[in-house]
Amino acid sequence: MTLRARTPVASVALAVSLGLGLAGCGGSGGSSGGGSSSSSLASAVLKPTMSGTTQVFDLHGSAQNQFSAATLEAKPGTVRIVLHVDAGSAPHNVTFDALGGAATPTVDAGSTGEVTITVPQPGVYPFACTIHPGMRAALHIS
């Protein structure tokens, strides 16, 4: 009986371990410098570096049509998003419909593009790649 009581617990523990282990797999391995695996993209939060008074985000667009972070956290003020498109990826862009359509240019694989915006009010500002409809993230200003 003791064995039966442990078997469901062991099965659940094994399933959770396998699920977590598989969640760490799935990145292309092709991104360089600061990129995230594709499976961790959905929950990644990115904080800015500062260049004077401008908050700067280095955001990657992957071959899996995902951004390297789901959330960018900033303070009210000037924000620059530098989009790095990973080698081997399709082109990507960053477009803010709620901020007058502010956008990076379309950026090819292995290249970068940027957009600088001023966001004076706290709030959540969604952005997307207009080339890949499911490729979305949000800028959280607090």
The pTM assigned to this predicted structure is 0.72
Encoding tokens for residue 86?
Answer: 């990973």
Distance CA 83, CA 71 (A): 14
Mean pLDDT of 89-100: 96
Provide CB contacts within 8 A for 15, sequence distance 6+. none
Taking a C-beta distance cutoff of 8 angstroms, is the pair 24, 49 a contact? Answer: no
Domains and CATH numbers, the chain: 29-141 (2.60.40.420)
Reported as a single tens digit per residue, the pLDDT across 1-51 is: 333 333 333 333 333 333 333 333 333 333 333 443 444 555 799 999 999
